[in-house]
Amino acid sequence: MNRGGRSMSRLMRGSEAALVRMIRVLAMCLGLTVLPLAGAMAQEEGAIAPSDTAQAGFAGAETIVAETAPAPVPATDVSPLQRGMRFVRLGGPAIWAISALSVAALALILWKVWRLVLLGAWSGGRRTRAAVDLWCDGQETPAIALLEGRGSCRARLIRAAMTARQDPTLDDAGAEAETERMARNLLAQARGGLRPLELIATIAPLLGLLGTVLGMIAAFQALQQAGARADPATLAGGIWEALLTTAAGMGVAIPASMALSWFESVVDRLRLEMEDAATRIFLRPVASHDTPAHPQAAE
């Protein structure tokens, strides 16, 4: 019980450290995307005064601006939630889709970390190597007993390989086929959730680009309708609002791509370790197979 408690505590510490590192990376990537957008929205709202107004020296112009311009909103009166909702409204339907993808990506990443922890992606290798060493030394029964009750993917595969090797009804080809079947199932569980995460990393920038194109179309339509009275500021405002969707799409795709690459490296390492251990199991002949399997054949 003490050994199991220590193993579980090491497992939880390893999983917590991996989860904290992933959350820090996500926060850094999202911060790099959101902070420039928040500054742009604050300037557009009036929290940051334009430089040309500050340098104007004509009293009449200052009076006109003071009478006609809306009162600037203090930065302390605008909550982050209000800025986020305004950001979503400016982006249009594409921002709503990208926001939903960001929530789905975060949920998938957290679920995948927890799933890999349960599969023993960062633990269980020492006991599995000890069991394989016992098997190679000819201690078959202690090797299988050492892996009893272990839930990691390595331990489950090696225990299945040892059991298949000791099964008198299976020859070497049948034992290898059973081990390969078990390995495919375990690797499929380890790779679960990676395809949706890859899809999010692919379509998030495309949705951002689609929102930008639609926003540019709307901005140029407004410019055409204005005719000779067209204001370049109107076009510039429409363009930066349209570019918000591209920035948001990249802000979702970059952390998703980083998490996907990390998960794939973890699964590849698991596959190599499982393949190596299973190969060592099949290289050594089983003692029970050395006895005649069909005594009646000698008669």
Mean pLDDT per 10-residue interval, the chain, length 299 residues: 47 52 54 47 44 39 39 54 65 83 94 91 82 87 86 88 87 88 92 93 92 83 74 72 86 94 93 90 72 42
Residue 180 CB neighbours (<10 A): 13
User: Can you say whether the dihedral through the CA atoms of 251, 103, 27, 119 is positive or negative?
Assistant: negative
pLDDT of residue 220: 80
Per-position DSSP letters for 201-256, written without gaps between them: HHHHHHHHHHHHHHHHHHHHHHHHHHGGG--HHHHHHHHHHHHHHHHHHHHHHHHH
Q: What is the pTM of this model?
A: 0.66
pLDDT of residue 83: 67
pLDDT of residue 288: 57
pLDDT at res. 16: 55
Give the chain's radius of gyration (CA, Å): 31
pLDDT at residue 148, rounded to an integer: 84
For 243-276, give the DSSP string.
HHHHHHHHHHHHHHHHHHHHHHHHHHHHHHHHHH
pLDDT for position 230: 66
What is the structure's pLDDT at 289? 55
CA distance 288 to 251: 59
Mention every residue, 6+ apart, whose C-beta is less than 8 A from residue 71.
46
Q: Which two tokens stand for residue 123?
A: 């633990």
Q: What is the pLDDT of residue 166?
A: 86
Instruction: Phi first, then psi: give them for residue 219, nearest 5 degrees.
Output: -65, -45
The answer for residues whose C-beta is within 8 angstroms of residue 110's C-beta and 6 or more apart is 19
